[in-house]
Structure formats: structure tokens, C-alpha cells
Amino acid sequence: MNMEQALKIVSESDACACPLCQTAARCDTGYFDRPFDDPEIFAGTSEAISETLGFCPRHGASLLSREPLFGGVVNVIHDAIPRLRLLLNEKYLQRHQVQQILFGTDGACPECAYTNRALGRQAASLARQSINTAEGTELAQVTTLCVGHFRLVAANLALEPRLAALVAYADRLGQVAQETETRLAAARETGAWPLDDAAQTLSAGLCLIAGRSATAPIPSDGVLDDVLQSCPTLAETIALPDVCPLCVEAERARRRWLHNVKKSAGFDQDAWLVFPTCPEHVGAVARLEEPGLTAAVVSRALNVTLRYFHKQIQTAQRAVRLLEEEARIKAEGAEVWRAYKRKRTYRKRTEQKPEGQTATPARMEKCPACEWAEIAAEHATGKLLNLLHEKKQRDVFGHGYGLCLKHFARVYLIAHKGAVRTMLAEDMQRRLAGFAQGLDELENGVPESEMTAAQLASLITALRRFCNCM
């Protein structure tokens, strides 16, 4: 058995398949096949694209991989362009609605929102099913969820059922974490990963931490691969005609991070600096098909997540004890209850918290890979703005591809008022107008099947602007 087969277990095994991951997969498969000629779907999607400035990298790449490409959601994008051009007018930059949209574009995507609505409905339904038994909480289905979707379901549970679910899920995490660590220690002693014996353990850990992210790579058309080899600096990529330079820098940073993950695999003391804990980045490591590295990353992610759930359990236990205390005191009479409330209010005002203790709820540790990506994005944005202060570089930028809409929002918001910000706004206005004109010609003239290769390539290149294809 090889690593590819181990990954296949994650997506196909009934023993570890998260039902919400399956729903997400169905939403992803069906989103672009929806009847976009339906007026309600058309209007809602058009408004969503205007408010999110296009799709996330995963769903943007999925759109670009479709055949035939044009029609359907691309007609919706065409409808959204006039609103986008109005939104990107520099004189409206300080308007509250414009600021809200531009600041929120990083994590926004119409298809993600569509999927999240479906997941929210299913999570609420699953929570109701899990607590409606006379004997106690039915937890079997809840413990099959991946970490992200378990947290979604747990948020819909009342306090006592949530505590029971947290304890059961933490036990499940602890068991898988211990098995993964045992397999990893044995592999390090022998210098070989016993994949035939350990595939199920590894796939169970991947299923819990990464869900379907472990088996759902972002489709790639190879454009970024070519650019990374031929253009080692940002100053060179801004001149390219077919790719966003900040998308290139984001992919460069991602590959540099993966290289550092490999280097750190043999040094446990450095793992916390680069080993990921979020589903997307754990899945990215798994797709390298190196079982020993994947096991090390999954082991760390499981332990980080386990610490988070132990804190959640402690918080829920304190809340349950408080409710029990209040119920007991209420039963002693109204006067005793009023005295208790007065004493509790006074104690809250006068008690000093122990050093280091805070009132904030437990939070999951931030994924080092996500932090790495954010730092790289800020660094690349700053470098681009420094380049654009020179008139010569602005001319080069204007003759190149420009920016995708997501990266445009990031750069546009922090550009100083003056030549650079004005150039960015006018450049994006011009490019969107050109794309709209090309789509007009497509609708009113030659069908996609009869377009020349140059015409089709030009429209696809323009469509990438909405797809944030890192």
C-alpha cells in the first residue's frame, strides 16, 4: 500500500467519513451546475460576487477547470461587473459599505458561503438528533466528525450535552493521537514507515484533522509553475501578461513553507514554528505523499487540538457546576437566592484573578502555516507598493496582467492617496471594462466552440482575475 492509497482511505472509508465533509463535497460538485438562468439564483449570485470580489483559490480553480467554461456563472460575473466598477471608483473608497467589502475579501467566496449555509443547516439538525434521547446523549455520529465540523455541531448543543460530546470527542482524539505517536516512534527507530500496518491509523488522524481537505487538492493549470521557474523576483512578475504577481508570490511562499516543513521534520523542538494545524495546510502536507512527515504533522495537530478541547471541557465543567449550585440555592427559597446573587455580584467586583488567568474563552492555537502565509502576503504587498512609487514600474505594471480582485483589494486599501492609488483604481476599471466587452462579443457573436485560440485565451486570462488562483 502506498501513500496515495492511504489518502484514499480518508475519502472512502465509512469508518472515518465525516458526514458534513460529504455534504461539502456535494455542494462543491453541484455549485457551478446550478440553473443560473433562474432569476433568483442569478440575482443572488451576482450580488454575492460583487460583495466578495470573486472566488477563493480552491473554487476559482474549480471554475477555470470546467468545460465548457463560458455561460452559467460567467454570465453572472458579467452582470456583476458594472457594480464592481462602481465599487472600485476611488471617490467612494471611504464609504462604509465599500470599506466593509474590501476589508472582508480575503476569506470571502460565494461558493464557500453557499456551502457553509448547507453545513449550518445540517449541523443544527445533527445537534438536535444527538440530544433528543431519554437515556442520554447519542454520541456515536458526533465522534465521526472532523474537528472543524465537530466544533460547528458542538456550538449548536446545550451546555450539558455539549460537555458530554466534548468529553467523548476528546477521548477519540486522544486515542488516535496516541496510536499515531506510537507508529511514528516505531518508524523513527527502524528508519522505515510500516505503511501496511499503519495506514488506517494515519488515515483516521487525517480524517479528524483535515477532513476532505486531505484529498481535495486545488486544480492547477500549470501557469504558476512556469512563472516560478522563470521569474524569481516580484519586479519581473509584474511585467507578465497572464498572472497576478501577488498570486505568484503567495505560491512561492507556500512552497518555501513546505520546504521548511520537510527540513523541520527531524527536529521536534522546531516543529511548532512550521508544522500546520489547520485542515487546508495539513492536507497540503499529506498530498506530498511522505507518510513519515504526514504522521509527524498529524501527531502535532492532534495534540494541539486536544489541548484546546481539554480547555473547552474545563470551561464547560465549571459552567455545569455553577448551574447545579444555582439550582440548589434556588430550591432553598427566594431570600437565600437573592442573598446569593448579591454575594456573587460583590465577589465578581472585588476578586482579583490569578496571574495569567483571563476571562476570554479558550481558542484554538493559530496555524503556523496560516501565519506564514499572512506574513508573506504583507511582505509582498509592501514590496509591490514600493515598486509602484516609481513611474517606470507603474508603466510596466500597466502593460502586464495587473492584480486579481482579491489582491487588488489588499493593495488598494493600504496605498497612499496619490499617483499609486489612482493608477490602481483606473487600471482595474480599464481591465474590468475590457473583460465585459469581450463577454458582450461572446454573447452576441461567435460561440465559445468557434472562437480562436487567442480570443479564448484572452477571456480566460481575464476570468482568472475573479478566481484568485494561487
- The answer to whether the CB of 130 falls within 8 A of the CB of 165 is yes
Q: Given this model, what pLDDT does residue 196 score?
A: 55
> Which of 185-194, 211-220, 225-234, 428-437 is predicted most confidently?
428-437
Q: Given this model, what pLDDT does residue 216 score?
A: 64
Q: Which of 185-189, 196-200, 360-364, 412-416 has the lowest mean pLDDT?
A: 196-200
Q: Which three cell numbers stand for residue 256?
A: 518555501
- The answer to whether the CB of 210 falls within 8 A of the CB of 431 is no
Nearest 10 degrees: Cα torsion 87, 88, 94, 96: 30
pLDDT, tens digit (0-9, with 9 covering 90-100), for 223-246:
777 788 888 899 999 999 888 999
Instruction: Output the average pLDDT for the chain.
Output: 83
pLDDT, tens digit (0-9, with 9 covering 90-100), for 150-182:
999 999 998 888 999 999 999 999 999 998 888
pLDDT, tens digit (0-9, with 9 covering 90-100), for 302-355:
999 999 999 999 999 999 998 888 888 888 888 888 888 877 765 554 444 444
Separation CA 38–CA 399 (nearest Å): 38
Structural Rg of the chain based on CA atoms:
26
pTM greater than 0.75 (yes/no) = yes
Residue with cell 484546546: 308
Count other C-beta atoms under 10 Å from residue 434's C-beta: 12
The better pLDDT of the pair 444, 297 is held by 297
Cβ contacts of 195 within 8 Å, gap of 6 or more? 1, 2, 3, 6, 202, 291
Q: Given this model, what pLDDT does residue 75 score?
A: 87
Write the DSSP string, 212-271: GGGS-PPP--SHHHHHHHH--SHHHHTT-SSS-HHHHHHHHHHHHHHHHHHHHTT-GGGH
Separation CA 358–CA 148 (nearest Å): 25
Phi-psi map region of 290: left, alpha, beta (phi>0 left; psi -120 to 50 alpha) = beta
- The answer to whether the CB of 130 falls within 8 A of the CB of 191 is no
CA 327 to each of CA 113, 164, 308, 342, 348: distance values in angstroms, whole numbers, following the listed order: 41, 20, 29, 16, 19
Percent of the chain with pLDDT over 90: 42
Number of Cα atoms under 13 Å in the Cβ half of residue 456: 13
End-to-end alpha carbon distance in the chain: 32
Q: Which of 133-137, 280-284, 319-323, 399-403 has the lowest mean pLDDT?
A: 133-137
Separation CA 2–CA 171 (nearest Å): 29
Write the DSSP string, 319-371: HHHHHHHHHHHHHT-HHHHHHHHHHHHHHHHHPPPPTT--SSPP-PPPPHHHH
Q: Which three cell numbers stand for residue 319?
A: 459552567
- Nearest Cα neighbor of 298 from 2, 5, 7 is 7
Q: Given this model, what pLDDT does residue 325 score?
A: 87
Cβ contacts of 284 within 8 Å, gap of 6 or more? 254, 258, 276, 369
